[in-house]
């Protein structure tokens, strides 16, 4: 099915995809703002603004919408990441106008009542403190901080505790007004509708809003890593974790697909869609080397599609009878093996098929289709999604080897070790 793509006169990018298999519509509003747009002092502001978007407008008071959407048989949610904030509703096709009116309204008319800001501060600080009882959050934060010198990718999306305690209502509202404009947003809708009728309704609801000034971006070019950095994180629990985080590449980089196949070959394919599950990685090299030899309990890789070069990480849960050093050596040997010789055609074909299968599983439902419409527009265009499978298919063994040689060098990584101190984690007490 063709996708109708257009841009309203106020700059709002609109993508519409008709899918008539079931009477459902999924409606996504993407705002080009995330922790990439934050500076020390207001880290976590994008995520907090997302929370405030559920606190009501003059037309849609807080608390009423949950009941209205549930009553109409729909569900909704929102999420903030390093490059974007997204809001979605998936509803019966004949009830979608509620979602259209809601998102158009809160794009520009959210209130940010001081008492709601104060209440949400408590919620988000509690969320942050809960995260601090999670070993992987603690390790991830230390690795992320060490991985970047100046780029805002060094900050966790939730922000630092100090900033969450000191941020004001004006900090939040000014951030909202700066970034929540039609020309800084993407509206993506998939499902059972007529595109011309839908576009007319979108024009009616969104077209009345003026465009805003193009937001000034704080992200700058991060220098290339010159040497390996090591961090040791100590905290609760009884499990040791190892995370090797390599400076990665933009989603638009031609090498992205070769590194994706290297990831699939080493640890099993990464899931770019947060709404779909994973697949088995038991045929991957690191699983066979570490898990089958009882050096580790699990191993996984993580390659993200981002605007700027972020991190490709390999995360290992160390076997209770082993130490971090017992897995780091074999990890390095497996990476060196890929750097020294290209994979055999049969192994490459299997890795490609697994990556393609995971991508396909994450593209099936109407909600997933709408997700991809908007997500790909954040860092490139929808054509990136459409060409994904064939670009994976085109990757050669030599390109996989070259990607490993170029991106998986030790000087490009932060090697983090989580050392447990035996204290119980939350829920273990």
CA-CA distances (angstroms) from residue 175 to 16, 37, 52, 111, 349?
Answer: 28, 10, 12, 13, 47
On whether the CB atoms of residues 209 and 182 are closer than 8 A, the answer is: yes
pLDDT of residue 429: 46
pLDDT of residue 65: 79
d(CA 289, CA 354): 19
Domains annotated on the chain, with CATH: 3-206 (3.30.830.10), 229-420 (3.30.830.10)
What's the half-sphere exposure (Cβ side, CA atoms, 13 Å) at 369?
21
Tokens 């490709």 appear where? 312
**427: β partners:** none
* Residue closest to 142 by CA, chosen among 418, 429, 421, 423: 418
d(CA 364, CA 372): 10
On whether the CB atoms of residues 244 and 313 are closer than 8 A, the answer is: yes
Pick out the chain residues at pLDDT < 70.
Answer: 1, 274-278, 425-429
Tokens 């404009």 appear where? 181
**191: β partners:** 18, 25
Contacts by 121-127 with C-beta closer than 8 Å and gap 24+? 121/48, 121/164, 121/165, 121/167, 123/51, 124/44, 124/47, 124/48, 124/51, 124/158, 124/159, 124/164, 125/161, 125/164, 125/165, 127/158
On whether the CB atoms of residues 51 and 327 are closer than 8 A, the answer is: no
* Residue closest to 167 by CA, chosen among 99, 97, 112: 112
* Residue closest to 113 by CA, chosen among 66, 174, 64, 56: 56
Please give the model's pTM, rounded to 2 decimal places.
0.94
- Residue 160, classified by CB atoms within 10 Å of its CB into exposed (0-12), middle (13-18) or buried (19+), is middle
Residues ≥6 apart with Cβ < 8 Å to 35: 43, 44, 46, 47, 80, 81, 82, 152, 153, 155, 156, 157, 159
d(CA 13, CA 186): 5
Residue 8 CA, chain-centre distance (Å), reads 27
Handedness of CA 318, 320, 321, 323 (dihedral sign): positive
CA-CA distances (angstroms) from residue 290 to 302, 311, 330, 332, 405?
Answer: 17, 22, 7, 12, 21
CA-CA distances (angstroms) from residue 250 to 215, 280, 323, 382?
Answer: 21, 26, 34, 16
pLDDT of residue 278: 66
| Longest CA–CA separation in the chain, Å | 64
* Residue closest to 102 by CA, chosen among 94, 112, 110: 110
pLDDT 10s digits, 100-111? 999 999 999 999
* Residue closest to 188 by CA, chosen among 204, 176, 199: 199
d(CA 238, CA 247): 29
């Amino acid at each position: 099915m063709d996708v109708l793509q257009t841009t309203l006169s106020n700059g709002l990018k609109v993508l519409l995809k008709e899918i008539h298999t079931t009477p459902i519509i999924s409606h996504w509003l993407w705002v080009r703002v995330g922790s990439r747009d934050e500076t020390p002092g207001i880290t976590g502001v994008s995520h907090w603004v997302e929370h405030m978007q559920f606190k009501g407008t003059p037309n849609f008071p807080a608390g009423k919408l949950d009941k209205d959407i549930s009553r109409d048989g729909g569900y909704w949610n929102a999420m903030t990441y390093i490059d974007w904030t997204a809001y979605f509703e998936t509803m019966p096709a004949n009830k979608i106008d509620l979602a259209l009116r809601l998102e158009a309204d809160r794009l520009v008319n959210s209130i940010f009542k001081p008492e709601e800001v104060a209440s949400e501060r408590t919620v988000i600080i509690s969320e942050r403190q809960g995260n601090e009882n999670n070993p992987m959050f603690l390790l991830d934060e230390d690795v992320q901080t060490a991985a970047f010198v100046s780029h805002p990718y060094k900050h966790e999306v939730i922000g630092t505790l100090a900033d969450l305690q000191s941020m004001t209502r004006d900090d939040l509202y000014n951030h909202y007004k700066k970034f929540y404009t039609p020309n800084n947003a993407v509206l993506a809708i998939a499902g059972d509708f007529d595109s011309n009728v839908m576009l007319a309704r979108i024009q009616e609801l969104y077209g009345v809003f003026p465009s805003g000034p193009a937001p000034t971006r704080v992200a700058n070019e991060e220098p290339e890593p010159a040497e390996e950095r090591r961090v040791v994180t100590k905290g609760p629990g009884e499990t040791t974790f190892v995370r090797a985080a390599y400076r990665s590449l933009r989603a638009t980089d031609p090498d992205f697909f070769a590194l994706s196949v290297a990831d699939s070959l080493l640890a099993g394919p990464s899931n770019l869609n947060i709404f779909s599950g994973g697949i088995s990685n038991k045929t991957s090299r690191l699983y066979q080397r570490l898990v089958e030899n009882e050096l580790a309990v699990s191993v996984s890789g993580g390659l993200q599609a981002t605007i700027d070069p972020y991190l490709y990480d390999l995360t290992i849960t160390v076997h209770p009878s082993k130490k971090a050093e017992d897995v780091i050596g074999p990890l390095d040997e497996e990476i060196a093996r890929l750097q020294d010789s290209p994979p055999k055609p049969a192994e490459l074909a299997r890795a490609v098929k697994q990556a393609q299968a995971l991508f396909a599983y994450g593209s099936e439902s109407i909600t997933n289709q709408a997700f991809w419409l908007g997500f790909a527009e954040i860092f490139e265009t929808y054509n990136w999604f459409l060409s994904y499978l064939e670009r994976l298919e085109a990757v050669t063994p030599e390109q996989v080897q070259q990607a490993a040689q170029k991106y998986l060098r030790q000087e490009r990584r932060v090697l983090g070790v989580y050392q447990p101190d035996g204290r119980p984690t939350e829920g273990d007490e």
